[in-house]
Structure 1
Amino acid sequence: MIQTRSRVLEHVPLAEKTYRIRLSAPTIAAKILPGQFLMLKLPGLNDPLLGRPFAVYDVDFEQQAIDVVYLVIGKMTTLLQEISPGQELEIWGPLGNGFPELSPGPEAIFVAGGIGQTPFLAYAHQLLGTKGFGGRAAKRVIDKVTLYYGVRNKNLLAGVSDFEKAGVQVKVASDDGSVGYHGLVTGLLEQDPPKAPIITCGPEPMLKAVSKLAEKYGVPCYVSLETPMACGFGACFSCVTAVKTPEGVDYKRVCIDGPVFEASKLVWGH
């Protein structure tokens, strides 16, 4: 883990209350893998006192920078939206275990709800071979990546064009029917029963439902948890989740044992 101050290079809106911020971080950008995350903190402020976790959205290797996408939902992100290019943030990372290295195959399926699409752009680049991460050469391992993306309404759709430019097929569901399929993203997924590995991120009820669908159709499923964290590197034990073990149930720290887990090993509701 590297802790440093990072200069903001870009800060642009993507959707309603949703922004992409680009941070100059050459050393972290060279190491970070899709599915890992950063902790960000506003320098000089004691409220909020602690940092907050943010998934890596993408890496710009020319600028040696990391993109983060966030939704304004609390004190930290309300203050973060006021940050301008040229200002600095405190950051530490890379953190977490990242997404699995899938075996070569015809397709991978991403399922996102709310702001859960944010870890998937870098992973799409990795799987489709358009970018290499962590010092590794780019290598295509998946022929097709499909993103099933659920939002409350069309105003909250963020980054669809980024995924499409990366070569991802995007299928959208909205709770109010204002865009795409009218209903839950799991309903959209079941219209074409999955036959490929599923990777999912979003609210816990959606993750549980996607996990059950994966079990129903007999496909592997990996879950990226959005658990609140205080430190990000395993010292505070504030982000534990229940995981099945041969002995019963154990509690794993999401920040270092996750945030990505095999869905079949999670104990929902703990």
Structure 2
Amino acid sequence: MQPNMPSESHASKLHAAHYADRMKQIHTTVEQNELVGENTFRLRIAAKPIAAMVVPGQFVMIRLAGTNAPLIGRALAVYDVVRDANGEPTWIDLVYLRKGVMTRALSASALGTAITVWGPLGNGFNNESCDRLIMAVGGIGQTPMLTLGREAVGTETYGDPARANRWSENVELIYGARRKSLLAGVDDFRSAGFDVTLCTDDGSEGVKELVPNVLAARLAELPAGERVRVATCGPEIMMEKVAEVCKAADQSESEPSVTCDVSMETPMACGIGICFSCVAKIRQDGPEQWDYKRTCVEGPIFNAKDICW
């Protein structure tokens, strides 16, 4: 067997605890489809069966009904869960960037347009307690973080049965984009009570710096021994650098003080683990062994230390 290649025995261990057994497929319509940033839209759909079950970090697959162009759906992280007058989770909000065939068609969809959505899918973030949660995101990577932060501070609960919340004393967001116009949803995070630090490549908003560098400086400021969880999502090169920053900041192997969870944005076709188009290399059984894991069922959330970048 060549080094760094998965063995037959490793392949036989391919398994996920988050197969789409509880997935709901529903037919619904567009209720809101608003421009919230440059080429960035916020879509609201009535999806009560999904809204009741979703946990932070999970996603849905969505496609326009009655059309074969595009044929396959698009994976979108659940940005927010909206409750009705009785406090029942009823709607889900999805924030997306108008970029490809699917999202261009979606951005042009009028209110009442028929869509099909299935989910919730994936494993979601864990809710282990920590002293501080830092969400380090870039591009459109803020989309899975609003619910995570709200659960952490205890203002919302998610899942069926409901998961434990209020598991972090402090929550903050470090959010980067190429320019100010691409930053979307900043007021949502500020209204939720999180400390927000913005950075742009051109300096048009916040500091002119990259997210990993801002994170490194922030971690250096924190008291020694504080248990910090970093959650990151965005361009892969940014997430890799965030993972390196967290590894350098963590001084303990036995009881890590800085951990990093990565929300992978690998392109998906089915979202339910059938097509194997969204695989990522994940370490197992030693530092030089890896196996392909499907982002849609074994992920999209992985421990940064387990990823072969």
TM-score bracket for the superposition, by shorter chain length: over 0.9
TM-score by length of 1: 0.96
SS of residue matched to 1:92: strand
Q: After alignment, is 243-252 or 213-222 more displaced?
A: 243-252
Q: Deviations over 1:213-249 (max 9, x none)?
A: 0000011000000000000000000010001110611
Q: Which 10-residue stretch deviates more, 134-143 or 251-260?
A: 134-143
Please state how far the C-alpha of 1:106 moved relative to its aligned partner. 2.6
Structure 2 counterpart of 1:120: 145
Quick one: higher RCO (CA 8 Å, sep 6+), 1 or 2? 2
What is residue 174 of structure 1 aligned with on the other side? 200
Match of 1:252 among 293, 302, 308: 293
CA shift at 1:191, angstroms? 2.2
State whether structure 2 residue 113 is matched by structure 1 residue 87. yes
- Does the alignment pair 1:232 with 2:275? no
The one-letter code of the counterpart of 2:50 is: I
- Mark the runs of 5 or more structure 2 residues left unpaired by the alignment: 1-22, 223-227, 251-257
Structure 1: gaps of 5 or more residues: none
CA–CA separation in structure 1 for the residues paired with 2:157 and 2:148: 10
Q: Does 1:73 align with 2:99?
A: yes
CA spacing shift, 1:139–1:222, aligned 2, 3 Å: closer
State the structure with more CA Rg: 2
Q: State the 1:167 CA deviation.
A: 1.1
**Aligned to 1:76, what secondary structure does the other structure show?**
helix
Q: What letter matches 2:55 in structure 1?
A: L
Q: Deviations over 1:111-145 (max 9, x none)?
A: 00100000000111111111111131773111211
Give the length in aligned residue pairs. 267
In the TM superposition, what whole-angstrom CA distance separates every residue of 1:170-222 from its partner, at most 9, and x where no partner exists? 10110011111102111211222265110000010001000000000011000
1:82 & 1:126 partners in 2: Cα distance? Answer: 33
- Partner of 1:241 in structure 2? 280
Report what 1:221 is aligned to.
260
CA RMSD, aligned part only?
1.3
Once the 2 structures are TM-superposed, how far is the Cα of residue 162 of structure 1 from its aligned partner?
0.3
Q: Does 2:246 correspond to 1:207?
A: no
8 Å CA contact 2:127–2:165 kept in 1: the answer is no
Please tell me the residue identity of whatever aligns with 2:141.
G
Amino acid in structure 1 at the alignment position of 2:132: E
CA drift of 1:45 comes to 1.6
Q: Is the 8 A contact 1:131 1:137 kept in 2?
A: no
In the alignment, residue 10 of structure 1 is paired with which amino acid? Q
Match of 2:8 in 1: none
**Mapped pair 1:134 → 2:159:** yes
SS of structure 1 residue aligned to 2:297: helix
Distance across 1 between alignment mates of 2:193 and 2:169: 10
Moved over 4 A (4+): none
